[in-house]
Structure 1
Amino acid sequence: MKYNVGSKVRFLNDVGGGVITRVKNEMVWVKTEDGFEMPSNKSELVVIEEATEAKSETKVLEFKVEPKFEKKNEESSFPDFNDSYIENKQKVFTISEIEHEFKNTYPSLFVAFVLKDEKNWNVSDFDLYLINDSNYEVFYNIITKYKTEYAQLENNIIEYDTKSFITTIKRSDLNDISEFIIQAIAYKKGIYTPQIPFENRIKIRPTKFFKQNSFLENDFFDEKAIVYQVGAGMEIKLDVDEIDREELKKIIEKKEFFQTQTKKESLLIEKKKEVSAIEEVDLHIEKIIPNYLGMSNAEMLITQISHFRTKLESAIFRNIKKIVFIHGIGNGTLKHELRKVLDEYYHDLKYQDASFKEYGYGATLIFINK
C-alpha cells in the first residue's frame, strides 16, 4: 500500500482520518479535519483514496487576507519540563544518538522551490518545501507578499531532519509574489541552549525562475530545485540576490551580519585535547560547496565567512594552537572581511600573513594558544 502526500487515510486504532502531508520512512504525518498534524505509523493507517495530480493541486496558493482567531485549548500541548528532564537524565544514549545530538550547533533551515514537471521546466509549477536539516525542532510561520498585501501561508512545527510540503505555487502567480518571510523559533525537549528567534526574507525575482540553470541538483530532492538557506545560526536580513559589495560592507560595519552572542555547547563525545599541529582550512567556495553555480558573489562571500567562523570556533574549543585559512589573493575582499571579523569579534587573537613560501599572499595564520 502506497502512502503518498495528498492521499486520504483513516486511523485503524482511532476515530477519524485526514490527508497525508509528509512521509519519512515508516512515519506518516496526517492533517485531520481539525487542522492538526498527527504523526502515525504506516501500520496504523489505511488509504481510502489515492492522491492524484488533480488532488495534489488542491493546496494551491490562495491569497485572501482574513484574520483568523482560533480558540486555544486550555491544556498546553508542550511537554512537561520535569518529565522531559527526567526522561533525558535516565536515558542511556548510543554513539549514533550522541553524534546526532551534536551534529549541528545552530538550527539550519532551507526553503526549496521544486519543479513539478522537470521535463517541461519552463511551464512547470513549483512545490514549496520547508527543510529542517538540524537536530532542533522548529516552530515556523511563513508569510507571503502578494501584490501589495501580506498573508499568512502556514504555521506549524517541523521536526528535526525532515522536510515539509507547504503549498504549490502556480507559475502564473510569480509576477504577483514579491517576497516570502520565514519566522522561526528553534527548540529542543528538555535541557538545551536557547536560540534567538530569527526572521529572514526571500525576495522573489521572477526572471530567476525562467532560467534553467537556476534549478540545481541538491541534497534534499531527486528533482532539481531552487534552494534558499534561511537559518544557520545567523540573522541575515538581506536579499543576497540584489546586494552589492558596498552594501554588504555597510551591513558588516553595522554589525547586522553576525549575531553578537557566541553559542557553545558542551560535547559528550570527547574531552578537549591539546593539538600541536597547524590546522589548515581552504575557504575557496568550490571546497565548501562543490555545486555553487547560480550563487551570487554576495551569497558566496556569506557562505565563506560563515564557514570561517564555524571552523575558527571549533579550533578554539579544541585548543588548536595555530590555524591557517586559505583565502587566495583575488581582489582581496574575502581576506579583508575575514580580518575585519577577527578585529571586531576575536580581538584577543593574533594573526599575520601565512608562510609566503607555501601560500604567497593568499592565506592568514591565526595564533589561538600561546
Structure 2
Amino acid sequence: MKFKLGDFVRFVDEKREGYVTKVIDAQTLGVTDEDGFEIPVAISNLTSVHGHGVIAEEIDVPKPIQVNIASISTLENGIYLAVATDDKAGNVVHFHLQNQSANVLLTTLTTERKDKYAGSFYGILEAYQSKLVYSASLADLDIWPEFTFQVLLFSKADVKPAEPLVIKKKFRAKDFSGEQKELPQLKNKGWLIRLDELPSITIDAQKLKESFFKSPAEKKTVDVPLKEIDLHIEKLRDDHHFLEADEMLQIQLSHFQNALDAAIVHHFDKMIFIHGSGNGTLRDKIHKLISKNPHIKTYMDARKEKFGYGATEVIFK
C-alpha cells in the first residue's frame, strides 16, 4: 500500500495512530502520534484509517482539487504555487499548482537532488484550476530537491501560441519567513508563490524627471564612508537568518567594494575592514581584491590587540 505525507494511519501490531510526517526510505515512514512524537515505522506495519484526513491511495498522481473562480478574482493572471500547511500533520506542507489564467496548462514537475531526478507530477490544469503536485516536511527543508516545472500553454482563442515555460525553483527558508495567509481556493493557510513572474524594472517618473536637472557634480556625489567598515552579515542585513552562505558572502563583498571605492574617491589615507575570523573565506576574498587594486599601497592585520586576526587595514597610495 502506498502512503503519502499527511495520511492518517494505524499501527498493525499495537493500538497507536498518527499522521505520516516523513518519508525516511522506501520501507520506512515517520509517523507523528497524538503526543507529537515522530516514530519511524516500517510500512508493512501500517494500515490506513478511513474517515480521517487524507486517505492513502494506490495511484501516484495526486487527486485534483476544484477551484472556485470567484474567490481568486483579486489575483493577477499567472501560474502560482500555493504551499499549504497541514493542520493535522505538523510540519507537513502540500504544494498546489494553481492556474490563474484563461489558458489550459499541460504541466510536468520533475525534482532533482544530487544529480538524481524523479518525475513527481504530470497533468492538465484547466483554466482557474488547482492540483496537488507534491508534499514535503518543512523540517527537511535543507534537503528538499530543486523543482522544475515544464508548462505548455494552450488556448482555443485566436492568439499567437505562447512559448513553453521552464520554471526552476529551489526553495529556501526565506520563502517561508513571511506570515501565513489564507490561500485562494484552499481551506488551509500557507504561502502563495508566483512562478511565472519575471523580475521587472520599475521606473519612478518623478525621480527620472529630477535627474535631468541635476548638475554633473550632483550626479557624481559619493557619500563619505566610515573609517571602519564592519562586514559582519548581521550588521548589513536584518534577514541574514534566511540567507544562504553564498548569498551572505556576495552581500559582504559588495559592501566591501562600495566602501573601498568611496574611500578612493574621497582620498582616504587608510581604512579598516572588520571581517571576523570565521573560516577565513571572506578574509581571503577581500585580500585577493585588495592585492589587485592599483590604488592600494599595502595592507595588514589591523590592531591585533583589538581585532585579533578579524580585521584588515588598507593603506592607500
- TM-score class, shorter: 0.3 to 0.5
**TM-score, scaled relative to structure 1:** 0.35
| Structure with higher strand content | 2
Bigger radius of gyration, 1 or 2?
A: 2
**TM-score, scaled relative to structure 2:** 0.40
